[in-house]
A and B are shown apart, each in its own frame.
Chain A
Amino acid sequence: MSFSFNDKIIETDKEGYLRYLDDWSPHIAEQLAEYENVTLSEAHWEIIALIREFYATYELSPAMRPLVKYTATQLGKEKGNSIYLMQLFPNSPAKLISKIAGLPRPKNCL
């Protein structure tokens, strides 16, 4: 699958994850979020930056539990909990955040 953005073809897998991680930019994130019916606010961007930092450090797309734990260590417990993340990114936060942040699908996600 693919979509075009500024005359560039952006390839995704069939679940909508970017095929080439280098294609990612904040504009692409907005486009990916729109496909998922999520409107990105400051709070969303904070989490997107965080998960990209996790990936840069550990080369893993975190599943829900490590994502919650990492968020808690970096941003505190008010944000590092599953309810907060679910409010921002409904249903499957870990998968949705990875997708919008241009990372591979978390492998170990229920």
Chain B
Amino acid sequence: MSNSLSSNESNTKKSSKKIGIVMRHAPYGNNLAHEALDAALATSIYGQELTLIFMGDGVFQLLHQQESKAIHQKNLEKQLTALEFYDIEKVFACKHSLDERQLKQNNLSINVAAIETEELQQLLHEQDVLLSF
């Protein structure tokens, strides 16, 4: 059993792609934030190089103290804190978007690397596949 698992792993490594998932919308108004998270969690299982990028109103997804129970929705903040168990470690936010909305790291529920616009462009450019939500 463990042999077949490890050969599967090496197969996925050979075909590994850099996949960037871009969050661009505030949560809860529509289902995009949850769809993006689903895509990220599903992708993580295939051992791809995964990067999450929060930009524009997407940075609102990172806010702490989300009270989604009041609208009978799952709590995105809680779900994002599970990313470490899915080995999703590359999580970036657009610094300009954070600044525009006057958000600082201590307003956010998880640790993200806030990057400048040029770095962000570079990061987007490096990805083999971009999925925008």
Contact = CB atoms under 8 A, between A and B. Distances in A.
B43 to A, nearest CB: 9
Interface residues of A, number: 18
A24 interface: no
A5 B82 CA distance: 34
A107 interface: yes
Interface string A93-108: 0000000000000011
Given A59-B74, A65-B87, A107 B42 contact: yes
Interface in B35-55: 38, 41-42, 44-45
A59 B79 CA distance: 6
A45 interface: no
B42 A59 contact: no
Nearest to B5: A82
Given A62-B82, A69-B85, A82-B5, 18 more contacts: A57-B82, A58-B81, A60-B79, A60-B82, A63-B41, A63-B86, A65-B87, A66-B82, A70-B85, A83-B2, A86-B1, A107-B41, A107-B42, A108-B41, A108-B42, A108-B44, A109-B45, A110-B45
Interface of A: 54, 57-60, 62-63, 65-66, 69-70, 82-83, 86, 107-110
Interface of B: 1-2, 5, 38, 41-42, 44-45, 74-75, 78-79, 81-82, 85-87
